Structure 1
Amino acid sequence: MIIVLKQEAKTEDVTRIEKTIEEKGLQVHVSKGENQTIMGLIGDTTKVDPESIEVDPAVEKVMHVSEPYKLANRAFHPEDSVIDVGGVKIGGGHLAVIAGPCSVESKEQVIEIAKAAKAAGANLLRGGAFKPRTSPYAFQGMGSEGLDILVAAKEATGLPIVSELMDAEYLDEFIEKVDLIQIGARNMQNFDLLKKVGKATKKPILLKRGLSATFQEWIMSAEYIMASGNPNVILCERG
């Protein structure tokens, strides 16, 4: 359920309505646009009588949201999302080009590629320090050493870093060193990892669509991160 306020609604109106809703045990997500304020209700909306809200002089209308995802729903925030990744804006008409090696293999390799990518117009550097592989015998990445190499490439070029997190064990290190944390296709429905990422940081998350995942499953995975406290999710379609 969403509550659309009138253009002339004041801050005290938002606070009053928000308090009324929260007293019923629901959470309220407030989105303030240029011309209108929208309040999204999260929880058991059967406890709320829409007609009792619509009579409020500050309310324009009350609408039901049929989709199971709420925070990731465009109805909850009609304004374009613009997410800042180390000074590079993504969304709202801003074009971001992410480039770099599939896997980090050496400092020389990554810095050379980072410089070439920047010269070609890229504004973010992608590199895999930890690599999920189909074969257990294939190269699995350099791990923490690979992250340090990416940091060195950032220092050399100024490009913010994008890298894939596979296990919450390394989450603190990623928060410290990586600008955009990638959740790969294979982990799209690793709900424990999604919740931990949402709770631990507000750092932007790049969420790739899982193998054979439906659109709704993908958006619900984004909802896990957002519902845990991190609204900065970027969706990445998988080829």
Structure 2
Amino acid sequence: MVVVMAPGATEEDVARVVARVEEVGGEAFVSAGVVRTIIGLVGDIDSFHGLNLRALPGVADVHRISDPYKLVSRQHHPERSTVWVGTDRPVPIGPDTFTFIAGPCAVETLDQTLEAARMAQAAGATLIRGGAYKPRTSPYAFQGLGVAGLEILVEARRQTGLPVVTEVVDARDVEVVAEHADMLQVGTRNMANFGLLQAVGRAGKPVLLKRGMTATIEEWLMAAEYIAQRGNLDVVLCERGIRTFEPATRNTLDISAVPVVQATSHLPVIIDPSHAAGRKDLIVPLSRAGIAVGADGVIVDVHPHPETALVDGAQALVDSDLRALAQAVRQLPGMVGRVDASQWPVPAR
């Protein structure tokens, strides 16, 4: 069951609902969004019905949700959500805009990151991505610079003005990553790391949740529910390719997942063609397909010198490929009713 609070509900109104639920042995998980607060209830449904929660001050509605992912479902939240990233120049990711995210897969040096960030900005990106912590298949591969990498990303944000998206791989690092980044990324290998999901849900920053390479859509949405249940509805889902029998690409970009998820969940959905394909020649065509099918954004790898990249150089865009992507991102979203994220008005605070 889900309690939807009215836009003007006070903290006292929310606390009153929580107290009433706990009186009958239930649990209440509060998720505060930009416009309104939602409270997910766990416990005996029949006992909740006897509370007459609709009559409490500040309560707009009460829904019994059949979907297992109650907070991220469209059953109680029919309008799709917009997630805002950053503070000085917040960037929207949602149904009205198209958001272009780009940067180096891994932070290697200050010069490399700054050059990649400027390349991304020149191409029209409104958010910088960069990995300070890198979960790798091999324990001998480059694992990232850690806190030093986070500090480099902060400098890139200072020089470009673009908010930073970076991955966190361990629940113990959530606090330090949240201190430096504007958006926390949970990668494909950690989609089912429930302790990490709960930690980022409590961190107070937007979360980019990538789909596990063998995860069903329901499992992906249940992972998002872990984050939402800890009070954070600012979650963006990222389709980054699933593992199939086809070896021509690193993974198979499940383009159908975008409209399927959007019909089921109110959360924004973007695509990652870089990690899906593993080949830079496929990134522009896959990005075009993502725009056509209704993705809310795209996240890609950019590197000034792909031939020397420590991580995923084969999929990093540069020069003509980046220009082609910039043209697609500039021209195609308008054809499907989207506005460049940088042009969307920031809501009043």
* Residues 210-239 of structure 1: CA deviation (Å, up to 9, x unaligned): 121011111111111111222211111112
1:77 positional shift: 2.2
Residue 171 in 1 paired to residue 174 in 2? yes
* CA contact 1:2–1:38 (8 Å) conserved in 2: no
Query: Compared with structure 1, are the counterparts of its residues 47 and 195 closer, same or farther at alpha carbon in structure 2 (3 Å cutoff)?
Result: same
The 3-state SS of whatever aligns with 2:220 is helix
Q: 2:211 — aligned with what? A: 209
| Contact 2:2–2:41 under 8 Å retained in 1 | no
Superposed counterparts of 1:109-128, under 5 Å: 109-128=112-131
Structure 2 residue 74 is matched with structure 1 residue 71: no
Structure 1 counterpart of 2:41, one-letter code:
I
Distance change >3 Å, CA 133–CA 50, structure 1 → 2: same
Greater alpha carbon shift after TM alignment, 164-173 vs 121-130:
164-173
Give the % identical residues. Answer: 46
Among 136, 153, 156, the alignment partner of 2:139 is 136
Q: Is the alpha carbon distance of 1:64 and 1:111 closer, same or farther for their aligned partners in structure 2, counting shifts above 3 Å?
A: same
- 1:188-230 C-alpha deviation (Å, 9 max, x unpaired): 111111112222x110011101121011111111111111222
Change (3 A) 1:51 1:31: farther
Conserved 8 A contact 2:178-2:205: yes
Q: In structure 1, what residue type is equivalent to 2:75? A: A
Moved more, 180-189 or 90-99: 90-99
1:79–1:24 distance in 2 versus 1, CA, 3 Å: farther
Summarize the Cα distance change of 1:173–1:50 in structure 2 as closer, same or farther, 3 Å threshold. Answer: closer
Q: 1:175 to 1:61 in 2, by over 3 A?
A: closer
Kept in 2: contact 1:100–1:127 (CA 8 A): yes
Q: Aligned pair in 2 of structure 1 residues 48, 41: CA closer, same or farther (>3 Å)?
A: farther
For 2:84, the equivalent position in structure 1 comes to 84
Does residue 42 of structure 2 align to residue 43 of structure 1?
yes
- What residue ranges of structure 1 are gaps of 5+ in the alignment? none
Aligned-pair CA distance for 1:78: 2.4
Partner of 1:153: 156
Residue 63 of structure 1 deviates from its aligned partner by 5.2
Q: Give the unaligned 5+ runs of structure 2.
A: 242-349
Provide the residue aligned with 1:233 in structure 2.
235
Q: Which has the higher contact order (CA 8 A, sep 6+)?
A: 2
Deviation at 1:30, TM superposition (A): 8.8
Correspondence for 1:218: 220
Change (3 A) 1:29 1:136: closer
Deviates more, 1:206-215 or 1:58-67: 58-67
CA contact (8 A) 1:54 1:60 kept: no
**SS of equivalent to 1:181:** strand
CA distance in 2, matches of 1:30, 1:164: 22
Displacement of 1:31: 9.1
What is the TM-score with the length of structure 2 in the denominator? 0.57
- Name the structure 1 match of 2:96: 93
Compared with structure 1, are the counterparts of its residues 51 and 84 closer, same or farther at alpha carbon in structure 2 (3 Å cutoff)? Answer: same
Shift in alpha-carbon separation, 1:165–1:231, aligned structure 2, 3 A: same
Q: What SS does structure 1 have at the residue aligned with 2:185?
A: strand
Aligned to 2:267: none
Instruction: Output the aligned Cα RMSD.
Output: 3.4
Alpha-carbon deviation of 1:64? 3.4
Q: TM-score, normalised by structure 1?
A: 0.81
Deviation of 1:11 after TM superposition, in Å, equals: 6.7
**Would the aligned equivalents of 1:151 and 1:177 in 2 still touch at CA under 8 Å?**
yes
Query: Contact between 1:129 and 1:144, CA under 8 Å: does it hold in 2?
Result: yes
Provide the rounded CA distance (Å) in 1 between the counterparts of 2:172 and 2:128.
23
Q: Deviations over 1:152-178 (max 9, x none)?
A: 111110111111101122222111100
